[in-house]
Structure 1
């Protein structure tokens, strides 16, 4: 399994830091000299070189100018922006509201033909009903201490999810059985969500697998929520951030984990029986 879902992001940051450090060394100047030329304190140079502080574009331009390498500045700026895009905390993502966050995924969804999603505690967004999504997004707004636009965000999520009815796409969705019993919203909202699973899970393009709580010998333990988009991107959802994994070796690791999780799931009539059991438990 991946050692850390943020490892790709950290490796990318370290590559930028290493490149800047090499520029300084090649120029034959010390960190103190570089700080003086840029008008900084020495600790700032140290934080940048040790990948503790991401450099701003202006920092990179000043750094390259001080090292006599102005021509490399724009390339390093692009590299740094790519590194920072791999790990984005939710507070930054939701500055413009939860509705806009939902809409920001539309282009990625349009570009994807095979969706593989694992969720240990929640019904995946693609299969969420309005009431369930609204309850979840409202809880997220409270957690992040931001204005609650969960009603608009839930509708945006439902519009985005219409993609499951479009041709030429496949959706392989895995959840742990416990996700069927963690109630979000009121009784009616949860009942509607479980009922929707019975119908959406039967769509030709959708494969819904449920890992029973009674699985006696797990081949792999429950993981964090992750989405695999084709074979080009893995998105890992943490409490504080969304991590984008783009390294082929790490993507392959998530695909392997997904297949192991998939091997423990039940499908078809057996999966529907677990959903019906959860519906009965609501009574």
Structure 2
């Protein structure tokens, strides 16, 4: 089956993209060439993998059954090749990366052009979500997490850390005043991220004592990016990751608050990879690149 690795890879990408043409555009093959690769694979295993029509390309029941097995076969081949390959091997293939909005827009996106220039044979699909996905069920090759980890059975690779800052816009502060103590926050509208209840409790150290305040507000979102824009527009006070607020703070669109007593709560930024996959050349190249931008 290993001799059919290119055909298996093509099968998986066609199943994901839904057309021969889409896979052809990213691999350099023609649509008919991709179709012939699928036909060779079907002949080898003795079953049709796709229903084909002029308007529809979908997996047959046999294709649905074969897909997870194909993925396992290809991953085993890639891991073995990665462990044996010379470091000078050119990384190639497709990577599925998942991360949160703030990381995607303010840490990752500004550097991706450099990554694609360094590794022209790697294609990258970035899935952005502020809720925590299941990396295995969602088939993410690399998942970036900010904060404590709860996943088991995954390789955790440290990328760096992020602190937090409390801030509001000059417009909000002109209308509502600036909080001087942590308790003053109880009189203010605070912007909160859905799905992370612990982030509604903001930590401080006042007069040598660790304290915390459970803040409230009339606006919440499942997007950290949205909270940033709400804060800049004057909707309330926000506590956000330092790299997310860096540009707004530098330009004066946001003003840092309570800096002498606020605990920034440094948290790790971690890349999660399924065991063994970190040795696949393209995964290894991405991890090394992510470390370099922190």
TM-score by length of 2: 0.27
More helix by share: 1
